[in-house]
């Protein structure tokens, strides 16, 4: 059992959860993830690590409330416990001095990209951060991300910040303005990562994405998370989660992520009926 130290709603539908686990905190590297199970009836789901504190011995993740598992997590409070909290899993992101890095995040990916931006900055890169939100009230961790970015852009559909465009178009204009980019890293929903990859393909900028397929064990044992990259099957949990976005078979990933679409609805309805009759 792992103890929840904090659970907080950051913005509507996006929550932060900080869990006590000194052993995992000691080992975390940017780009890795944990597997969490909210209760004994729960599903094992992967969450990208958004931050960690070795002194406090805690690990933080940020998630969007979608299905049963994330609903359950969003109702936990400090002091509660979860039966499964395991990690850090997956290969860490490649961090070195590349030159100019563009970090593109949206949704839970705003938090997930933070440790990568921070590490890239520490490694001596110029870090340009581009965030995408639907509206101004959905932006969080602005200060945290600003503190590790040389340039900082937010694209919001309501035009509250720099522009209204959806992220691929923003990327194009930012690249035009900032000149040569050595590497793009994109984290967020599958659609965001897909469109970012499509946008950077003609620009010839290497683009890494942190894939989020369905997983069960997260240690390479089951193969639920298989993705096709450059024509070859890879396991996102042990070969990834970072892959070259220009080589990912996105269509397959979209389909596989929807494998249990109807079951997910049934599960959520069942849970809601049971808990909020």
Partner 1 sequence: MAEKKEMPPELKEKLRARFNEDWRKELRKSFPVKERMKLPRQKMPERDPEERNKDFSEVNLGLTEKWAREEAKRCLDCANPQCVMGCPVGIDIPTFVKLLEIGDYEQSVRKLKETNVLPAICGRVCPQETQCEVVCNLMKATGVPVAIGNLERFIADYERNTGDVHIPKLPPSTGHKVAVLGAGPAGLTVAGDLALKGHDVTIFEALHVAGGVLVYGIPEFRLPKKILSAEVDYLQNLGVELKTNFVVGLTATIDDLKKEGYEAFFIGTGAGLPNFMRIPGENLVGVYSANEYLTRVNLMRAYDFPVYDTPVYLAKRAAVLGGGNVAMDSVRIAKRLGAEFSACVYRRSRAEMPARVEEVHHAEEEGIEFHFLTTPIRFIGDDKGHLKAMECLRMELGEPDDSGRRRPVPIEGSEFIMEVDLAVVAIGNSSNPLIGQTTPGLKVGKWGNVEVDWETMATNMKGVYAGGDIIRGGATVILAMGDARIAATEMDKYLRSKKAKKRKHKT
| Residues in contact with partner 1 by the rule CB under 8 A | 2, 23-24, 27, 37, 41-44, 68-69, 83-89, 216-217, 219-224, 226-228, 233, 238, 251-252, 255-256, 258-260, 263-264, 266-267, 270-271
Provide the H-helix boundaries in 5-134: 22-27, 68-74, 109-112, 114-122
Backbone angles phi, psi at 198, to 5 degrees: -65, -35
DSSP letter string, 121-141: HHTT-EEEEEEEESSGGG---
* Nearest distance in Å: CB 244, partner 1: 18
Phi/psi of residue 143, nearest 5 degrees: -65, -45
Q: How far is the CB of 31 from partner 1 (least distance, A)?
A: 13
Residue 136 or 267: which CB sits closer to partner 1? Answer: 267
Percent composition of the chain: helix, strand, coil (DSSP 3-state, to 5)? 30, 30, 35
Least distance (Å) between residue 260 CB and partner 1: 5
Whichever of 143 and 262 has its CB closer to partner 1, that residue is 262
Give the Cα separation of 105 and 232 in Å (integer): 27
Q: For 14, which DSSP code? A: E
**163 or 224, CB closer to partner 1?**
224
Minimal CA–CA distance to 171: which of 116, 95, 163, 134?
163
CB of 183 to partner 1, least distance (A): 24
Contact 10, 141 (CB under 8 A): yes
Which of 87, 105 has the CB closer to partner 1?
87
State in angstroms the smallest separation of the CB of 269 from partner 1.
Answer: 8
Using the minimum distance from each CB to partner 1, give the nearer residue, 2 or 101: 2
């Amino acid at each position: 059992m792992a103890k929840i130290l904090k659970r907080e709603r950051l913005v509507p539908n996006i929550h932060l959860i900080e869990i006590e686990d000194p052993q995992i905190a000691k080992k975390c590297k940017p780009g890795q993830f944990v597997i969490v199970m909210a209760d004994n009836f729960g599903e094992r789901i992967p969450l990208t690590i958004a931050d960690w504190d070795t002194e406090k011995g805690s690990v933080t993740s940020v998630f969007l409330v979608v299905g049963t598992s994330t609903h359950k997590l969003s109702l936990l409070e400090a002091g509660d416990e979860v039966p499964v909290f395991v990690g850090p899993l997956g290969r860490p992101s490649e961090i070195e001095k590349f030159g100019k890095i563009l970090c593109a995040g949206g949704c839970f990916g705003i938090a997930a990209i933070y440790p990568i931006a921070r590490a890239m900055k520490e490694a001596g890169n110029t870090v340009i951060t581009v965030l995408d939100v639907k509206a101004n009230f959905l932006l969080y961790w602005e200060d945290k991300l600003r503190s590790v970015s040389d340039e900082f852009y937010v694209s919001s559909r309501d035009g509250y910040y720099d522009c209204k465009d959806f992220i691929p178009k923003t990327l194009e204009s930012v690249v035009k303005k900032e000149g040569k980019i050595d590497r793009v890293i994109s984290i967020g929903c599958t659609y965001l990562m897909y469109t970012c990859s499509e946008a950077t393909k003609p620009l010839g900028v290497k683009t890494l994405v942190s894939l989020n397929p369905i997983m069960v064990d997260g240690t390479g044992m089951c193969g639920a998370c298989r993705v096709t990259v450059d024509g070859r099957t890879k396991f996102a949990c042990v070969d990834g989660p970072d892959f070259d976005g220009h080589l990912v078979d996105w269509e397959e990933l979209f389909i596989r992520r929807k494998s249990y679409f109807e079951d997910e609805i049934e599960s959520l309805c069942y849970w809601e009926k049971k808990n909020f009759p």
